[in-house]
Amino acid sequence: QLQLQESGPGLVKPSETLSLTCTVSGGSISTSGYYWGWIRQPPGKGLEWIGSISYSASSYYSPALKSRVTVSVDTSKNQFSLKLSSVTAADTAVYYCARLLTGGLHDCWGQGTLVTVSS
Amino acid sequence: QSALTQPASVSGSPGQSITISCTGTSSDVGGYNYVSWYQQHPGKAPKLIIYEVSNRPSGVPDRFSGSKSGNTASLTISGLQAEDEADYYCSSYTSSSTYVFGTGTKVTVL
Protein backbone atom coordinates (compact mmCIF):
# COMPACT_ATOMS: atom_id res chain seq x y z
CA GLN A 1 0.00 0.00 0.00
CA LEU A 2 1.51 3.28 -1.12
CA GLN A 3 2.20 5.81 1.63
CA LEU A 4 3.63 9.32 1.51
CA GLN A 5 5.08 11.19 4.48
CA GLU A 6 6.12 14.83 4.62
CA SER A 7 8.98 15.94 6.86
CA GLY A 8 10.80 19.17 7.59
CA PRO A 9 10.93 22.18 9.91
CA GLY A 10 7.61 23.41 11.24
CA LEU A 11 8.87 26.96 11.70
CA VAL A 12 10.72 29.08 9.14
CA LYS A 13 11.82 32.70 9.47
CA PRO A 14 10.67 35.34 6.97
CA SER A 15 12.96 35.73 3.93
CA GLU A 16 14.46 32.27 4.48
CA THR A 17 13.94 29.10 2.44
CA LEU A 18 11.30 26.52 3.31
CA SER A 19 12.50 22.96 2.72
CA LEU A 20 10.35 19.84 2.88
CA THR A 21 10.87 16.22 1.91
CA CYS A 22 8.30 13.60 0.98
CA THR A 23 9.26 9.97 1.57
CA VAL A 24 7.43 7.39 -0.53
CA SER A 25 6.97 3.87 0.85
CA GLY A 26 5.13 0.83 -0.45
CA GLY A 27 6.00 1.68 -4.06
CA SER A 28 8.75 3.04 -6.29
CA ILE A 29 9.09 6.71 -7.09
CA SER A 30 10.74 5.63 -10.36
CA THR A 31 7.59 4.16 -11.88
CA SER A 32 7.09 5.50 -15.39
CA GLY A 33 4.01 7.62 -15.91
CA TYR A 34 3.80 8.95 -12.37
CA TYR A 35 4.45 12.47 -11.24
CA TRP A 36 4.94 13.55 -7.63
CA GLY A 37 3.45 16.80 -6.47
CA TRP A 38 3.20 19.41 -3.76
CA ILE A 39 -0.02 21.15 -2.72
CA ARG A 40 -0.53 23.61 0.14
CA GLN A 41 -3.47 24.89 2.18
CA PRO A 42 -3.26 28.06 4.30
CA PRO A 43 -5.17 27.78 7.58
CA GLY A 44 -8.91 28.02 6.91
CA LYS A 45 -8.41 28.44 3.17
CA GLY A 46 -8.45 26.36 -0.01
CA LEU A 47 -5.96 24.13 -1.77
CA GLU A 48 -3.20 25.58 -3.94
CA TRP A 49 -1.20 23.48 -6.40
CA ILE A 50 2.54 24.20 -6.13
CA GLY A 51 4.31 21.92 -8.58
CA SER A 52 5.19 18.40 -9.63
CA ILE A 53 8.13 16.30 -10.83
CA SER A 54 8.68 12.94 -12.52
CA TYR A 55 11.35 10.41 -11.56
CA SER A 56 13.37 11.69 -14.51
CA ALA A 57 13.24 15.21 -13.01
CA SER A 58 10.80 16.68 -15.54
CA SER A 59 9.07 19.39 -13.49
CA TYR A 60 6.20 21.85 -13.70
CA TYR A 61 5.44 24.76 -11.39
CA SER A 62 2.52 27.02 -10.61
CA PRO A 63 3.04 30.31 -12.47
CA ALA A 64 2.27 32.18 -9.26
CA LEU A 65 5.14 30.50 -7.40
CA LYS A 66 7.51 29.58 -10.20
CA SER A 67 10.13 32.19 -9.37
CA ARG A 68 10.53 30.87 -5.82
CA VAL A 69 9.93 27.11 -6.11
CA THR A 70 12.20 24.18 -6.82
CA VAL A 71 11.04 20.56 -6.71
CA SER A 72 13.67 17.82 -6.90
CA VAL A 73 13.71 14.03 -6.78
CA ASP A 74 16.11 11.53 -5.21
CA THR A 75 15.33 8.09 -6.63
CA SER A 76 17.99 6.39 -4.48
CA LYS A 77 16.09 7.42 -1.34
CA ASN A 78 12.60 7.18 -2.88
CA GLN A 79 12.05 10.81 -1.94
CA PHE A 80 11.17 14.11 -3.55
CA SER A 81 11.61 17.57 -2.09
CA LEU A 82 10.26 21.11 -2.13
CA LYS A 83 12.18 24.32 -1.68
CA LEU A 84 10.36 27.65 -1.47
CA SER A 85 12.58 30.70 -1.16
CA SER A 86 12.03 34.18 0.29
CA VAL A 87 9.06 33.08 2.39
CA THR A 88 6.62 35.47 4.04
CA ALA A 89 3.72 34.98 6.43
CA ALA A 90 1.53 34.31 3.38
CA ASP A 91 3.42 31.04 2.88
CA THR A 92 2.18 29.70 6.21
CA ALA A 93 0.19 26.60 5.33
CA VAL A 94 -0.25 22.87 5.62
CA TYR A 95 1.93 21.39 2.89
CA TYR A 96 0.88 18.09 1.31
CA CYS A 97 2.77 15.79 -1.00
CA ALA A 98 0.82 13.56 -3.38
CA ARG A 99 1.15 11.13 -6.27
CA LEU A 100 -0.11 12.51 -9.56
CA LEU A 101 -1.29 10.11 -12.23
CA THR A 102 -1.93 10.64 -15.92
CA GLY A 103 -5.28 12.34 -16.16
CA GLY A 104 -4.52 14.79 -13.41
CA LEU A 105 -5.64 12.76 -10.45
CA HIS A 106 -3.83 13.16 -7.16
CA ASP A 107 -4.71 9.71 -5.91
CA CYS A 108 -2.56 9.29 -2.81
CA TRP A 109 -1.73 12.03 -0.32
CA GLY A 110 0.53 12.45 2.67
CA GLN A 111 -1.02 13.51 5.96
CA GLY A 112 0.29 17.07 5.55
CA THR A 113 2.68 19.14 7.63
CA LEU A 114 2.08 22.62 9.00
CA VAL A 115 4.79 25.14 8.23
CA THR A 116 4.59 28.49 9.99
CA VAL A 117 6.55 31.48 8.77
CA SER A 118 7.37 33.69 11.71
CA SER A 119 10.34 35.37 13.34
CA GLN B 1 -3.93 31.09 -13.62
CA SER B 2 -6.85 31.85 -11.32
CA ALA B 3 -8.55 29.38 -9.02
CA LEU B 4 -11.60 27.68 -10.45
CA THR B 5 -14.85 29.15 -9.11
CA GLN B 6 -17.03 27.10 -6.77
CA PRO B 7 -19.95 28.14 -4.55
CA ALA B 8 -18.79 28.75 -0.99
CA SER B 9 -21.44 26.53 0.51
CA VAL B 10 -24.18 24.07 -0.41
CA SER B 11 -26.57 22.36 1.96
CA GLY B 12 -29.16 19.62 1.80
CA SER B 13 -31.18 17.25 3.94
CA PRO B 14 -30.33 13.56 4.28
CA GLY B 15 -31.48 11.67 1.22
CA GLN B 16 -31.59 14.71 -1.02
CA SER B 17 -29.34 15.41 -4.00
CA ILE B 18 -27.01 18.37 -4.26
CA THR B 19 -24.81 19.66 -7.06
CA ILE B 20 -21.59 21.64 -6.79
CA SER B 21 -20.41 23.63 -9.79
CA CYS B 22 -16.82 24.34 -10.79
CA THR B 23 -16.31 27.06 -13.39
CA GLY B 24 -13.08 27.67 -15.25
CA THR B 25 -12.05 28.69 -18.74
CA SER B 26 -11.30 27.12 -22.08
CA SER B 27 -7.67 26.89 -20.94
CA ASP B 28 -8.49 24.49 -18.15
CA VAL B 29 -11.91 22.92 -17.47
CA GLY B 30 -13.26 23.56 -20.95
CA GLY B 31 -10.16 22.39 -22.76
CA TYR B 32 -9.50 19.01 -21.17
CA ASN B 33 -11.36 16.07 -19.67
CA TYR B 34 -8.94 16.11 -16.74
CA VAL B 35 -11.23 17.39 -14.00
CA SER B 36 -10.95 15.77 -10.58
CA TRP B 37 -12.93 16.19 -7.37
CA TYR B 38 -11.66 15.83 -3.80
CA GLN B 39 -13.43 15.46 -0.47
CA GLN B 40 -11.76 16.85 2.65
CA HIS B 41 -12.94 16.33 6.20
CA PRO B 42 -11.64 18.70 8.91
CA GLY B 43 -8.02 18.08 9.79
CA LYS B 44 -7.63 15.40 7.13
CA ALA B 45 -5.89 15.18 3.78
CA PRO B 46 -8.07 15.48 0.67
CA LYS B 47 -9.44 12.27 -0.82
CA LEU B 48 -9.95 11.71 -4.53
CA ILE B 49 -13.60 10.93 -5.34
CA ILE B 50 -13.91 11.67 -9.08
CA TYR B 51 -11.30 11.76 -11.85
CA GLU B 52 -11.37 12.49 -15.58
CA VAL B 53 -14.70 14.31 -15.16
CA SER B 54 -16.88 11.34 -14.29
CA ASN B 55 -14.86 8.31 -13.17
CA ARG B 56 -14.95 7.01 -9.59
CA PRO B 57 -11.95 5.36 -7.94
CA SER B 58 -12.53 1.97 -6.42
CA GLY B 59 -14.31 2.24 -3.09
CA VAL B 60 -16.08 5.56 -3.74
CA PRO B 61 -19.87 5.17 -3.46
CA ASP B 62 -21.83 5.49 -6.71
CA ARG B 63 -23.92 8.29 -5.23
CA PHE B 64 -21.01 10.55 -6.18
CA SER B 65 -21.08 11.47 -9.86
CA GLY B 66 -19.41 14.03 -12.08
CA SER B 67 -20.13 15.75 -15.37
CA LYS B 68 -18.96 18.64 -17.51
CA SER B 69 -20.52 21.11 -19.93
CA GLY B 70 -18.35 23.71 -21.58
CA ASN B 71 -16.19 25.48 -19.01
CA THR B 72 -18.19 24.20 -16.02
CA ALA B 73 -17.81 20.87 -14.28
CA SER B 74 -20.26 19.57 -11.69
CA LEU B 75 -20.24 17.12 -8.80
CA THR B 76 -23.56 15.61 -7.74
CA ILE B 77 -24.10 13.80 -4.47
CA SER B 78 -27.29 11.74 -4.54
CA GLY B 79 -28.87 10.37 -1.41
CA LEU B 80 -26.95 12.76 0.81
CA GLN B 81 -25.62 11.20 4.02
CA ALA B 82 -24.32 12.70 7.24
CA GLU B 83 -20.77 11.56 6.49
CA ASP B 84 -20.82 13.58 3.25
CA GLU B 85 -20.53 16.77 5.29
CA ALA B 86 -17.09 18.03 4.26
CA ASP B 87 -15.27 20.46 1.99
CA TYR B 88 -15.14 19.63 -1.71
CA TYR B 89 -12.58 20.87 -4.24
CA CYS B 90 -12.42 20.51 -7.98
CA SER B 91 -9.15 20.48 -9.90
CA SER B 92 -8.26 20.75 -13.57
CA TYR B 93 -5.28 20.33 -15.84
CA THR B 94 -4.34 23.55 -17.62
CA SER B 95 -2.86 24.59 -20.94
CA SER B 96 0.39 25.40 -19.10
CA SER B 97 0.80 21.72 -18.16
CA THR B 98 0.02 22.63 -14.56
CA TYR B 99 -2.98 22.11 -12.33
CA VAL B 100 -5.40 24.46 -10.63
CA PHE B 101 -7.80 23.84 -7.76
CA GLY B 102 -11.22 25.31 -7.17
CA THR B 103 -12.06 27.73 -4.37
CA GLY B 104 -13.76 24.98 -2.39
CA THR B 105 -17.33 24.28 -1.30
CA LYS B 106 -18.50 23.48 2.20
CA VAL B 107 -21.29 20.92 2.15
CA THR B 108 -23.62 20.94 5.14
CA VAL B 109 -26.08 18.13 5.84
CA LEU B 110 -29.07 19.68 7.56
The pLDDT tens digits of the residues spanning A53-68 come to 998 889 999 999 999 9
Q: What is the mean pLDDT of residues A2-6?
A: 97
Share of chain A above pLDDT 90, in %: 90
Residues of B in Cβ contact (< 8 Å) with A64 = 1
- The per-residue pLDDT of chain B, averaged, comes to 97
Determine which of B52, B98, B105 to mutate to test the interface with A (most A C-beta atoms within 10 Å).
Answer: B98
Strand B9-12 with B105-109, pairing = parallel
Determine the Cα–Cα distance for residues B16 and A95; give it in Å rounded to an integer: 34
- Angle in degrees, CA A21, A23, A29, rounded to 5: 115
- CA A64 to mean position of chain CA atoms: 15
Look at residue B43 in the predicted model and tell me its pLDDT.
Answer: 95
CB contact under 8 A, A46 and B103: yes
Least confident window among A13-17, A52-56, B69-73 = A52-56
Q: Give residue-wise pLDDT tens across range B37-63.
A: 999 999 999 999 999 999 999 999 999
Per DSSP, what are the bridge partners of residue A35?
Answer: A54, A100
